[in-house]
Structure 1
């Protein structure tokens, strides 16, 4: 098993009197993680929210009955908790009534939306997000040189755990992931009947990674209105399929102030949506895939290291651009991404930006120095 960095954070949370919630897309390894953490523990109760009897148990549970159900166990893990009706309220009652019990709950995508966890568990929960395997986790599992050599593979097939461990079978695994799991909770909880519209929107977004997106243009492409497009994008973001990157603007009139880019959390899922798995050397979207990979990996790194930072891209009306800007502790860091090491050596930052923000740090990231950005 590949060790997950989030395990350190979860273990720290064990000493805090809170419900520990682990969110992430299906198949990123939430169940595997918790089973590995508690496999040698005799005092935990594992409940699978996909099972009907578990759903029925929570439908009529009282603290007294649940305490009897627990026996001597001190840890309760509710897997796929999004399947249990009103799970937030149920957990609140149990948490308040059973102070000696440690509760864990995992949920894919719409757990937070469909069951209103935030309001019932305000002040009572610690939430962590689990993503597909990160560059740092893969380096830790093998070594830096091996993982750098595998970068062309990761850009095409991504880093879902089953994909990483299925050498030679990546395409079939990704097809199964993207067709069977990707939309499951969205279609169930959000009651989206027109799944063909959702697929068409995802395909349109997949073709536009690294580019600014317009809700109005997407609406025309997908035969929807702009408000529906924005709603679907919000759902897809909360389902850990995509995320948005806003534009940085402070000093200059010609800076774009309300633009956005949309990236995928996993390159393999993006390529599965458009059914394109050709080698990186034969692709005209290699630069966009490199950009998508680096931005998503950087956000994973920040999340697992609890490094709180704001992040944007930068562009002017004259199409001057910087791929990624991060602000932490009042310091601006600007990054350009180049898949070609030769292009990296020739890269430069726009004078418009460097003059407006002279105290920022600047760095070009290519495969040669990727560890400086992701480790």
Structure 2
């Protein structure tokens, strides 16, 4: 069972504040469905910029948009016509009122940058993620881990149907979507890169080793990573290094964000197969990080911590420059307090430590560290 999307009320709030609201997220995550179900103050008109017939309406964009000044105009796949941003700015400045435009974007790395000059101060951005813990029945957490949170994958009738959907999503993304967002290259090469990332889930980014393995240059590999990150497929978790006089790891840790896609890329189609996967711990770590970031959003900044001496913490929750929580993520039913977590907490000044593992409930591991199940941590 899926509950209402938690972002729903936030979009309504943004529409009461900003003349334009940008809703960003990967394809097939439900942006269009969500927006079409909003309770808008004004009548709306929907323009799908993937359709030639709808693009033709905007040959004279100023004339068309002025004819619908009394409506909320929804522009889907806005990254396909970035030239519209300048026109939108002019129209907003002529008649500045909230809720005039809703811009839906499927992950162009240039989308924010292109609009920053044109719509600065006129637009509020939100990210729609795949389903996460707060939007599903708590009993289906394991299903969410296996299938990922894309609606058509999570809601599929069978695991087989879910797997087929994900395989086709990956194929379409490689063969069509990448080119549409500006990466013109051999899809098979990007597929190999994506699979390599999946098997290196949660590893420290080393562009040189990826470039050697693929037979391409390091700048090319970095560009691939930039496009996958910009299209919400990959998370590059940055290291924490503020005011710490130790030799620290400076490169990010890289994760496939949706574990359903991760499992498809590594050939996993069931919980039994996942249990036999060497990367099960990395899969669980990435899953937990995505659930935390989706749940708390911009309330915190998110980092990991690792020294060259071996002290490590999987996730730091930082607020106003202070480390509130240091989190270690373990795929285990019997968590222990590690020296690495203790050193990380001392180095960063973390207020508390949490070991998130495969248990229900919580119990103390020390005065400042608790072991907790994922659901318990998120609900707390």
Q: TM-score range by the shorter chain?
A: 0.7 to 0.9
Q: Which residue of 2 aligns with 1:66?
A: 65
Structure 1 residues 4, 159: closer, same or farther in 2, change over 3 A? same
Work out whether residues 55 and 85 of structure 1, in 8 Å CA contact, stay in contact via their aligned partners in 2: no
Structure 1 residues 91, 252: closer, same or farther in 2, change over 3 A? closer
Q: Which residue of 2 aligns with 1:160?
A: 150
Deviation of 1:53 after TM superposition, in Å, equals 2.5
Structure 1 unaligned residues grouped into runs of 5+: none
Work out whether residues 95 and 103 of structure 1, in 8 Å CA contact, stay in contact via their aligned partners in 2: no
Provide the rounded CA distance (Å) in 2 between the counterparts of 1:252 and 1:330. 13
Structure 1 residues 205, 41: closer, same or farther in 2, change over 3 A? same
Q: Which residue of 2 aligns with 1:301?
A: 295
Q: Which residue of 1 aligns with 2:363?
A: none
Secondary structure of the structure 2 residue equivalent to 1:198: helix
| TM-score (norm: length of structure 1) | 0.87
| TM-score (norm: length of structure 2) | 0.86
Structure 1 residues 357, 96: closer, same or farther in 2, change over 3 A? closer
Deviation of 1:96 after TM superposition, in Å, equals 2.6
How many aligned residue pairs are there? Answer: 359
Question: Which of these residues, 352, 369, 375, is aligned with residue 371 of structure 1?
Answer: 375
Provide the rounded CA distance (Å) in 1 between the counterparts of 2:376 and 2:147. 23
2:186 is the alignment partner of 1:194: yes
Work out whether residues 5 and 137 of structure 1, in 8 Å CA contact, stay in contact via their aligned partners in 2: yes
Question: Which of these residues, 129, 147, 163, is aligned with residue 131 of structure 1?
Answer: 129
Q: Which residue of 2 aligns with 1:284?
A: 278
Secondary structure of the structure 2 residue equivalent to 1:341: coil
Provide the rounded CA distance (Å) in 2 between the counterparts of 1:97 and 1:205. 47
Deviation of 1:30 after TM superposition, in Å, equals 0.1
Deviation of 1:129 after TM superposition, in Å, equals 0.7
Q: Which residue of 2 aligns with 1:315?
A: 306
Deviation of 1:357 after TM superposition, in Å, equals 4.0
Provide the rounded CA distance (Å) in 1 between the counterparts of 2:174 and 2:311. 35
Bigger drift between 356-365 and 159-168 goes to 356-365
Secondary structure of the structure 2 residue equivalent to 1:120: helix
**Correspondence list, 1:153-232, <5 A:** 153-168=143-158, 169-181=161-173, 184-232=176-224
Structure 2 unaligned residues grouped into runs of 5+: 360-372
Deviation of 1:288 after TM superposition, in Å, equals 0.7
Work out whether residues 79 and 181 of structure 2, in 8 Å CA contact, stay in contact via their aligned partners in 1: no
Deviation of 1:300 after TM superposition, in Å, equals 1.2
RMSD: 2.4
Structure 1 residues 282, 92: closer, same or farther in 2, change over 3 A? same
Provide the rounded CA distance (Å) in 2 between the counterparts of 1:33 and 1:190. 26
Secondary structure of the structure 1 residue equivalent to 2:135: helix
Which deviations, in whole Å up to 9, do the C-alpha atoms of 1:130-155 show, x marking residues without a partner? 111111111xxx3x3x13xx42x332
Q: Which residue of 2 aligns with 1:13?
A: 14
Bigger drift between 211-220 and 113-122 goes to 113-122
Work out whether residues 79 and 105 of structure 1, in 8 Å CA contact, stay in contact via their aligned partners in 2: yes
